[in-house]
Amino acid sequence: MGAEFTVYQDEQHLLLDPIVGVLAVHSIRPFETIMRVPQGCHAFTLKNPAVAIQTKAGRDQALKLHVPLEERYLSVFQAFLSYMQGTDFDPCKIALVQDRSAANLEAVTRANKISFNILDTRIDVRGQLAIPHTVDANVESVLRVLEVAAHYFYHLNRTHTNPVIQKNIKVEMFTLVKSRTIDDLTGLAIDVPLGDDLIVGNKISRNVCDHINPPYGFSIKNTSERHLFVNCFYFDNTDLSISKYW
């Protein structure tokens, strides 16, 4: 609900012709979606099948993507159409958004190739982080990136609604130093926390120096009466991959 679609004459004229009109999702039923012209937009009639691209995200969209309305990004729009045709039952959805400030990711061009910038402030507080990879400006190459990005942001946005998880789990991060205690199994000095929790306001800020690389450790505390088991995953913002860390 809440999603809007911009209607074009057909896929061949995508971005080249003035738009036919705009439709907004009014209600969703089994195997059917009812759409209406939103307030402030003109009514229109379709004499032939047309192409609709989602340009405003609904409430449950996983990834909000901003793509400039320029012909050089035609392969991105075509890849988006191809992706959405196969995601009826896939939770990893993508919505195109015209407002760049509302997007998680934006398409850019570098040396006649397609690349992407991360705009999500949860990943980079500056709100713009360039992904250091490019792909050819064709549908197949861009589609692979969209599939990876949709998967990445779907899991990044997931939140466990169980109140036991929300209220009774605390995660802390500390700088580690060697203690005088020796581990019986490894024969090495045991690392212990030094100083205060480095997570402040759900963010970690550290000054990185090439010649100073202290170890860090995480503390996960469960204050509930339930036995919980930890699975940690690493979200790599350089290639939008997710790997199991623990």
Nearest CA to 18 out of 30, 33, 36, 6 is that of 6
Closest residue by Cα to residue 141 from 79, 210, 99:
79
Q: How far apart are CA 142 and CA 129, in angstroms?
A: 19
Q: What are phi and psi of 17, to 5 degrees?
A: -105, 160
Question: Which residue type is seen at 234?
Answer: Y
| Residue 228, amino acid | L
Q: Which helix (H) or strand (E) holds 168?
A: helix 163-168
**How far is residue 133's CA from residue 108's CA, in Å, rounded to a whole number?**
11
Name the burial class of residue 18, with classes exposed (0-12), middle (13-18) and buried (19+) by CB atoms within 10 angstroms of its CB. Answer: exposed
pLDDT computed for residue 140 by the predictor: 95
Residue pLDDT tens, the chain, 246 long:
567 788 888 877 776 667 888 888 877 666 677 888 988 888 998 888 888 877 665 555 679 999 998 999 999 999 998 888 775 556 688 888 888 998 999 999 999 999 999 999 888 877 789 999 999 999 999 999 999 999 999 999 887 777 778 889 999 999 999 999 998 888 999 999 999 999 998 888 877 777 778 899 999 999 998 888 888 999 999 999 999 987
Asked if residues 213 and 207 have their Cβ atoms less than 8 Å apart, the reply is no
Instruction: State residue 135's pLDDT score.
Output: 97
220: tokens are 């996960």
Tell me the DSSP string of 170-236.
Answer: EEEEEEEEEEEEEPTTT-SEEEEEESS-SEETTEE----BTTB---EEEEEEE-SSS------EEEE
Contact 240, 148 (CB under 8 A): yes
CA distance 75 to 139: 5
pLDDT at 59: 53
| Two tokens, residue 192 | 């212990």
Nearest to 180 by CA among 191, 170, 195, 165: 191
pLDDT of residue 246: 79
What is the identity of the amino acid at 37? V
